[in-house]
Chains A and B, each alone.
Chain A
Amino acid sequence: MVPQEIVTLLQVFLFPGFLFLFCLAFFSDWMDRKLVAKFQNRYGPLYTGPKGILQPVADFFKLLAKEDIIPIAADKTVFSVVPMLVLALSMTPLFLIPMIDYSALIWFEGDLIVIMFITTLVIVAMFMGAWASTNRFSTIGGMRVGLQMLGYEIPMTIAMIGPAISSKSLSVSGIVQSQAVGIWYVITQPLGFAVALICLLAHLQRVPFDVPEAESEIVAGWLVEFSGKKLALLKLSKNFELVLAGSLLVSLFLGGPLGFWLPHPSVYFFLKLIVCIFILSNLRALFARFRIDQVLEGAWKYLTPLALLQIILVVI
């Protein structure tokens, strides 16, 4: 028998740990790009690998090889730390999500709170990065990052608390396990699912909530000064965020890796993840960008009350 330590190490680094997560991130990026391209009647990535599946990897390495510029006026330490911080922070929660089994690699009572906390920290890190780069566009982008968070953060948290209340567990794995005996929460809490979906879209800064990096308004927003390695890391962390958003939806509302007849639970997880990415990509292709005031207005006027309503319904 292989000693337990080695198994754990392999799990952390290979499957379902880092290596696997990297692959998953690249895959979901490819899938997102391909889907949006299809929606828009284009080809999308085409040449690198079969159907362009290696394009995100190629892009990543290309960016790594590019010149890395730090603006003279920037706060150098913060500016250099932020990309790593964002990457680390967006990757950590993925370890708390049960992907190949009913319980995650690491899990404890209350890890849902940790995930929420970390997603907020990511935003703070982005804001710091924007502020440290001292570019006018970055500053505006950073402001918008912060403002947008004020809008979607609360309804998102409330929407995610719904499944926790129903399952009487504050752990993602616990929620998944409780769906094994009951039904999927997407059926009992459709409102919560919708609110969480929209808020995650805002968290991912994708159309229609790509206000912080609105290309045609403020060039690239908070990302404007990052280049080379730093940009590569930030882009990669975006992919992780996409995976995280998808897997959160899958675990909290769609029953995680639960299924009936397929050989391995992870297969279910992927299928559901793909469905979630499909929905996210579809929404991305469907809308025009909102204005920041419209985002806030919408979040406070509609999303928060809806999320609260869902909680009330759950509690009753």
Chain B
Amino acid sequence: MATRIPFGPQHPALKEPINFMCEVSDEKVLSVRPRLGYIHRGVEKLAENRTYNQNLYLIERICGICAFAHVTCFSQAVEEILNIEIPSRAKYIRTILAEMERIQNHFLWLGDVGHEMGFNTLFMYSWRDRELVLQLIENISGKRVNYAMNTIGGVRRDITSMIMPSLKEGLNHLEERAKYYTEMCTKDPTVLRRTVGVGMLSPSDALELCAVGPTIRASGIPRDVRADDPYAAYEEIPFKVITYDGRDVASRLMVRLDEVLESISIIRYALDNLPNGDVRVRVPRRVPKGEAVSLVEAPRGEDLHYVRADGTEKPVRVKVRAPTLANIPTLCKMLIGENIADIPVVIAGIDPCIACAERLVFVDTATRKRWMWNKQELRKYATKWYRKK
């Protein structure tokens, strides 16, 4: 007997509304149908009505967690159209903040996964320790969540030598905690039982379904924008791309925890080798005609922004492809054959950020019809539309 169990849009395991209609039989998932569109906010349309500078703050609010990745991505695209090079000190500061954001996100994610497996203590502890990195970020930028640090042409605040010692001290503490969690997650029997062999994703599937971020790296494929197409200061900073071959949630856990350690060493290197100079260049308000695509490795995976400018002070089109959207097809693949009990862990395993992903529901206001497009249809429509132009 197959029962259909709605997973969401309101569900304690989901922090954001998305719906997975799961067909289950005897606690096993037979099929999954995702449905997006519950928190479509029209950010892309809004962006067309704002100046580039104002857009920074809008783009920053696409996601509360990888805010910095989004805004870096957007600024890079605009900088590319403007054809300016930002000062290298700004590049380093961007790198430092991006890595801090990664640490912050991974700690948050660890707690979240802990909560999904019913391990509330892990949740409390890792969120407590996330506070450490939030404080470091606050020291640098004056804010905790949306840092308001990036601007087109650099960053808005400098890292002064005054806060340097406290940053380094904070990093030491963070490193200790990250090591503790790594040890705990490899040892605790209940955590292992809930994660090893759960939510398998083979490397070929991962490639075919275009998985991104820690999800694909946990399937053994070293794909990381920071290494493949370096931006900011990643070209000059040595770091490893972490991969694990386990293909399961346990590997995703380990990839993220190791990335935290890697991020800490990146930040240390960047702080020690911070070049001198300005942190921003002044840019014109009007952006010349042109378009650009920029890629950033957000904590959750590859983030893509496309910006088209027409010479005014507002963009004509901004397109965001957030990492979660790329990971949803893989998620559906992973869920099939899993236990009901594992659905939350698997979903949490890709670290979904639904608000970022909400780009694909179309509402025809005239007929009040709602529909969703798959890739082919979207491509077809896009070619048709552009041909008309």
Q: Is A59 positioned at the interface, with any CB of B under 8 Å from its CB?
A: no
Query: Chain A's nearest CB lies how many Å from the CB of B4?
Result: 8
B119 — which chain A residues lie within 8 A by C-beta? 207, 287-289
Contact B116 A216 (CB under 8 A): yes
Contact A288 B190 (CB under 8 A): yes
Question: Chain A 212-232, CB within 8 Å of chain B: the 1/0 string?
Answer: 001111110000000000000
Contact A291 B339 (CB under 8 A): yes
Query: Chain A's nearest CB lies how many Å from the CB of B79?
Result: 42
How far, in whole Å, are A315 and B43 apart by their CA atoms in the complex?
A: 74
The number of residues on chain A lying at the interface, defined by a beta carbon within 8 Å of a beta carbon of chain B, is 28
Q: Is B325 positioned at the interface, with any CB of A under 8 Å from its CB?
A: no
Contact B342 A216 (CB under 8 A): no
Query: Chain B's nearest CB lies how many Å from the CB of A79?
Result: 20
Q: Is B235 positioned at the interface, with any CB of A under 8 Å from its CB?
A: no
Contact B339 A293 (CB under 8 A): yes
Q: Is A13 positioned at the interface, with any CB of B under 8 Å from its CB?
A: no
Given known pairs A42-B124, A219-B11, the reply for A291 and B193 (CB within 8 Å) is yes
State which residues 97-149 of B face A: CB under 8 Å.
Answer: 114-122, 124-125, 128
A288: which of B13, B114, B342 is its contact (CB, 8 Å)? B114
B27 — which chain A residues lie within 8 A by C-beta? 140, 292-293
A41: which of B3, B115, B128, B193 is its contact (CB, 8 Å)? B128
Contact A207 B339 (CB under 8 A): no
Contact B188 A219 (CB under 8 A): no
A137 — which chain B residues lie within 8 A by C-beta? 5
Q: Is A63 positioned at the interface, with any CB of B under 8 Å from its CB?
A: no
Query: Chain B's nearest CB lies how many Å from the CB of A194?
Result: 15
How far, in whole Å, are A139 and B1 apart by their CA atoms in the complex?
A: 13
| Extra 19 A-B pairs, beta carbons < 8 Å, given A41-B128, A215-B13, A292-B341 | A40-B124, A41-B125, A136-B5, A207-B120, A210-B118, A215-B12, A217-B344, A218-B340, A285-B120, A286-B121, A287-B118, A287-B119, A287-B188, A288-B122, A289-B119, A289-B190, A290-B190, A290-B193, A292-B339
Could you list which residues of chain B lie within 8 angstroms of chain A, going by C-beta atoms?
3, 5, 11-13, 27, 114-122, 124-125, 128, 188, 190-191, 193-194, 339-344
Could you list which residues of chain A lie within 8 angstroms of chain B, going by C-beta atoms?
39-42, 136-137, 139-140, 207-208, 210-211, 214-219, 285-294
